[in-house]
Structure 1
Amino acid sequence: MPGIKWLERITNTVADRGRELLGLRDDEAKNSLSDLCRRLIAGRGEASNIALAREILRLFENTDKDGKDEFFATLAAQFGPDPQGISEASAAFDRDKPATLARLIEAVEPPRQELFRRLNMAPHGTASLVAMRSELLDRLRANPELSSVDADLKHLLASWFNRGFLRLQRIDWHSPAALLEKIMQYESVHSIDGWRDLRRRLADDRRCFGFFHPALPDEPLIFVEVALTGEVTAEIGSLIDPEAQLTDPYAADTAMFYSINNALRGLRGISFGNFLLKQVLSDLGDELPQLKRFVTLSPMPRFAERLNMLLAGDIEDWPRERLDPLLEDFEPALAEHSNQASPSAAVFELLQNFDQHAAALAGPLARLALLYISAMKRSPGVCCDPVAAFHLANGAVLERINVGADKSVKGMTQSYGVMVNYLYDPEQVVANHEAFVQEGRIAMSRALKREHEKHIVGKR
C-alpha cells in the first residue's frame, strides 16, 4: 500500500510541525491525558490537532494500568453529554423547525465521540483506537459504568469498519510472511502448529480468505479457512492433518468451512462474519462452479459447560426430570455401564470417565446436543450456542450432529468432542434467515427434524 505509506509520512510531518507549534516537548509532562483531550476537542488547527491526537495516543499507550483506569473513568464521568443541554434542546424541539432537531442531536452526542473522531486523525489512529477498546473491554465487567464509553467507541468503529470499506483477499502460501504469521497467531478454533501445518492449510485443495480495511492493510479483521472435498466431512482431524493427501480442487464437489476467526479483540461485537461467508460462497462458486455443497464443520464452544449444568439440575427451565423421557430409549445401554436408574443421572456419571464409555454416550450426546441447539436459550429467541446462533441467523440448515468429531483436548473440554455441520443452500438462505430471526424457527435436515419432533417436541 505505497499510497497509504506516503500519506502516513505526510501526516507524521504535519503532526511533528504541530507539536512544535504547541510546545508539547516542554508541555507534555505538565498535561494530564484529560487536559490534552479537552484541548483536542476545542482545537481548530489541523496540524495542532493531529499533533495532540498523536500525543494523547502515545501517552495512553505508555501509561500504566492505574493511569488507564483513571483515563477511562474520566471519559465516562466528564466527557458525556450535558443533561441540562439535552433538556433545553428537547424542550425547544419543534418538528416543523429542522434547526431544533439539529440542536437536539448535537446536545445528545457525547463529547467523547468527537474526541474519538479527532484521535482517529493521528497516524495509525484507527489501530490505536481498536487497541484502546480492547483494553476497555478488559475493564467492563468490574466497571459497568464504563459501558457508555464502550458504546460510543463501538458505535464509531462500526461506522468506520462497515462492509463498504472492507476488501476480501485470498491468503495463500505466497502471501507476505508477516501476514502468514498473523494467521497462525490469530487462529483460535484449531491451532496451527508451525509453518508446515500452515502450508498444508494453504495448499491447492484449501482456501483461506480474509477481510482487510484500508486503515489496517496488513491486519486480517476476520478470516475463514475452507477445505475442498468430495464429501461432507464429519470429523475435523482429516481437514487439519498436515499429512493429509493433496487432492484436486477441481474434482471437489463440497466446500467445508472449518474455521472462522475474528482477529482483533477491539472489534468484538462488530459483525463481519455474515458478510465474509456470503462473499466467500459467491467467490468460490465463481472459481469452482462444480461445487454443489457449502457446509461448515463447526464447534460447540459452550456445550460441555451447559450440559454439565443441565445434568446437574442447575438450569431452571430444564430440570432433570424433564430429561429422562428424552433419553428413555437409551436407558438399557446406559444401565449396563452405570448403577443409576435415571438415564440423565447415568449420563452425568459416565461423562466423568468419558474415554471408557464413549460408545454408550454417543447416542445420548447427539440427542442432548440437538436439545441444546434447538430448545435451550441464552435469552428469548437466542440460542445458547453462539456459533449456532451465528449460522442459523445467516440462513444455514442444521444438517448433522457429529459425535467424536473433535478428539483434541480443546474439543473434549468444550463440547465432549461434538461438532455440527451447517449447510448453506444458496436457494434457501434468505427464507431460512427470515424464519429464524422472525419466528425462531430452525431449518433442519430431514433426519434431525424427525429426531427433533419425536424426542424433543414430543416429550415436552
Structure 2
Amino acid sequence: MRRAGPCVASAQHQLFRHLVLRSSGRPRPSAVAMATAAFPGPTAMEEALSRAVPPLPPYETREKVAAPAGAALEQRGAEFMRYYRALESGRPRAELLSRLARDFGVEHGRVAEVSGKVARLLQQQQQQQQEAAGEKGEHEPGALLQAEDRLRHYLTPRYRGLFQHLGRQEGGLRFLVELRRDLLEALAAREAEGPHVREMNGVLKNMLSEWFSTGFLNLERVTWQSPCEILQKISDSEAVHPVRNWMDMKRRVGSYRRCYYFAHCAIPGEPLVVLHVALTDEISSSIQAIVKEIPPLEVEDLNKITTAIFYSISLTQQGLQGVELGTYLIKRVVKELQVEFPQIKAFSTLSPIPGFTKWFLGLLSSQSKETGRCDPFTDPEYQEISEITGDPAVEILKRLLANNEWVRSERLVRALQQPLMRLCAWYLYGEKHRGYALNPVANFHLQNGAVLWRLNWMADTSPRGITASCGMMVNYRYFLEDTMSNSAAYLGTKQIKASEQVLSLVTQFQQNSKL
C-alpha cells in the first residue's frame, strides 16, 4: 500500500482530530468509527497510537503527574478505546497491536546509556572494595543503587503506561481483557508475530495477574434464581460438557449440584471462571452419571453427600489465559463446601483428557512408517485387532479412531481397553513438555497438588469424549493435607504423585510397548 503524500497525510491528521474532538474537547461517540471509515490506512492508526500512548516521564519526575496531564490522558484513553473497538476484528486490530508493540516499547538508546553507567559504577565499587580491603567501614552503594533504579525505570515499555491508564478508567479493565484476547488470537493466527508482540503479551498478562488477584475477586454461587443473564453466560461459556438446554442448566445448579464463579469488583455480573461441582457418595467414574437427569425437586440427603466432584472448570474470558484464576477458585470452593457440608471427606475431579486421541494417532502413524508394524501393542493384542479389523490393521484402526466408528464394535472396544488404558496412563504420566506433564489439564491439577488417581474406561461416551480421549476420563484427587507438598514436589523436582492403579498401568506400558 502506498503511503499518503504529506499534504494528504496532513489533511487526514486534521480530520481525525476534528472527528475525535468536539470544540469543547469532549470525544464524540461515533467519532473514531467515522475516522476509521474515512481513512482505513496507517495514518489514523498512527495518530490514535501517538495520542493515546503517554511518553515515559523523565526519571526525576516519574512519580509526579500534573492534574491536567492526567485528565488529558484519561480523555485520550477513552478515545483510544473507541477507536480500537471501531476497527474490524482480525488483521486491522492485529496491525494496531503490532505497531503498539514495535513502536512504543523500550527506548533502547536510553537503556544502553544507563546500563553503561551501571556497569561503570559497579566496576568502580569493586575497585574501591579491593582497595579498602582490611579497612574498617563499609562502602556506600547509593550511587549504584540509584543507577540501577534508573535503569529499571527506562526498561519500562511505553505501552505499559497506556495499559496502566486504561486499567484505571471506567470500563478500562474489561477493555484490556478484550484486547489481550485479540492479541492471543493474532499470535495464534500469525497475524501478529515477532519478539516485540510476544513481549507485550507477557507484560499485559503480568499486569492482569496483579489486577485479578484474589483480593479483587468475589465468589458467587449460581442457582436457578440467579439472574437470567448470568445463567445464559454460564451456559454459553461451558467448554467441557456443553449445556444442551435450559432443563440441563437447571439440573446443573439444582439438587446435589453446585456452581460457582469468580467476578471482579470492577466488572460486576461478569463470570470470569466457572466451576461445576457434583455432590455424591463416591468418586465418580463416569460423566454420564453426573449429567444424567435428576428430579429438580429432589431434596438433598446429607447422608448421601460425602464426596465433592469437580467435573467442569471453564475460563469465560479468553483474555485471561495464563492468569491464575482456576487454582484460587478451587481453593475457595473447597472452603465453601467444608462449611456447608463438614461431612465431605473426599475432593476429586472427573476430568477430560484432551489431546490423547491425537497423540495416539500420531504415535500409530510414526510407528507404522518407521517399523512397518504397530509397537504400542503386544503381539497377541495386535493379532486380535487384526482379526477384527482385517489388514492393514494399523491403517484401518487409524481410520476407525478418526471417525469414532470403532465404538460400534463391542469386540474391538474390549480388545482396545487394556492397551489404550496403559497408553493413556503413560500419556498423562510420562509424556512431558519441559519436564512437566504434556497434557494441559494434568499439568494444571498437578501444579495444584492433586494426585493422578484413577483412569476410567468409557467414562465419557459422548462424541466429544470419544473424539478427544477415546472415551476415557481421569480423576485427580485432592488430599487437602498433602496438596502443598505435592505441588512443591511437582514444581520443584517435576515429580508426579500417582496412585497404584496409574503406576501399574505405566509399568505395563514400559514392559509391553516397544517405543
| Range of TM-score over shorter length | 0.7 to 0.9
Match of 1:52 among 76, 89, 113: 76
Q: How far does residue 359 in structure 1 lie from its aligned partner after superposition?
A: 2.1
In structure 2, the partner of 1:197 is 248
Q: Kindly state the Cα deviation for residue 368 of structure 1 after the two structures are TM-superposed.
A: 1.1
Question: What corresponds to 2:267 in structure 1?
Answer: 216
Gaps of 5+ in 2: 1-20, 56-64, 123-140
Aligned to 1:298: 351
Contact 1:19-1:52 within 8 A present in 2 as well: no
Q: Normalising by the residue count of structure 2, what TM-score does the alignment of the two structures yield?
A: 0.78
For the residues of structure 2 that align with 1:181 and 1:22, how far apart are their CA atoms?
40
RMSD in angstroms over aligned alpha carbons? 2.9
Query: Structure 1, residues 69-94: CA drift from partner, whole Å, max 9, x if none?
Result: 33112202210101111101111224
What is the one-letter code of the residue matched to 2:492? Q
Relative distance call for 1:179 and 1:341 in structure 2 (3 A) is closer
Q: Write the mapping of 1:37-116 to structure 2, written as runs, cut at 5 A.
A: 37-40=49-52, 41-42=54-55, 44=66, 45=68, 46-65=70-89, 66-93=91-118, 94=121, 96=141, 97=143, 98-116=145-163
Cα distance change of structure 1 residues 406 and 330 upon mapping to structure 2, 3 Å threshold: same
Distance in 1 (CA, whole Å) between partners of 2:219 and 2:286 is 28
Distance in 2 (alpha carbons) for counterparts of 1:436 and 1:149: 29
TM-score normalized by the length of structure 1: 0.87
Q: Partners in 1 of 2:97 and 2:392 — Cα distance?
A: 56
User: 9, 22, 27: which one pairs with 2:25?
Assistant: 22
Aligned partners of 1:391 and 1:346: how far apart in 2? Answer: 35
Structure 1 match to 2:470: 416
Higher Cα Rg: structure 1 or 2?
Answer: 2
Matches within 5 A, 1:405-444: 405-444=459-498
SS in structure 2 of the partner of residue 392 of structure 1: helix
Residues 438-453 of structure 1 aligned to structure 2 (within 5 Å): 438-453=492-507
Q: Give me the identity figure in percent.
A: 31
Report the more deviating stretch, 37-46 or 269-278: 37-46
Q: Sort the Cα spacing of 1:274 and 1:23 in 2 relative to 1 into closer, same or farther, 3 A.
A: closer
How far the C-alpha of 1:288 sits from its partner, in A, is 0.5
Amino acid at match of 2:462: S
Structure 2 counterparts to residues 126-205 of structure 1, below 5 A: 126-141=173-188, 142=190, 143-145=192-194, 146-205=197-256
Structure 1's 231 and 307: CA in aligned 2 closer, same or farther, altered over 3 A?
same
Residue in 2 aligned with 1:277? 330
Contact 2:450 2:479 in 1 (8 A): yes
CA contact (8 A) 1:365 1:403 kept: no
Q: Which amino acid aligns with 1:286?
A: V
Partner residue, 2:10:
none
Deviations 1:17-69 (A, max 9, x none): x9765364599649834434433415952333222111110111012345423
- Which digits, 9 at most, give the CA deviation of each residue in 1:333-366, with x for residues without a partner? 4354244699x78865764641212222222221
Corresponding position of 1:122: 169
Q: Which of 378, 384, 402 lines up with 2:438 in the alignment?
A: 384
Q: Distance in 1 between matches of 2:187 and 2:22?
A: 33
Deviates more, 1:238-247 or 1:294-303: 238-247
Contact 1:338–1:350 (CA<8 Å) still a contact in 2? no
Distance in 2, matches of 1:374 and 1:23, equals 59
Alpha-carbon shift at residue 432 of structure 1 (Å): 1.8
- Please give the alpha-carbon distance, in whole angstroms, between the structure 1 residues aligned to 2:509 and 2:93: 53
Gaps in structure 1 of 5+ consecutive residues? 1-17
Letter in 2 for 1:443: K
1:330 to 1:438, Cα distance in 2 relative to 1, 3 A? farther
- Do 2:48 and 2:83's aligned partners in 1 also have CA atoms closer than 8 Å? no
Alignment length (residue pairs): 439
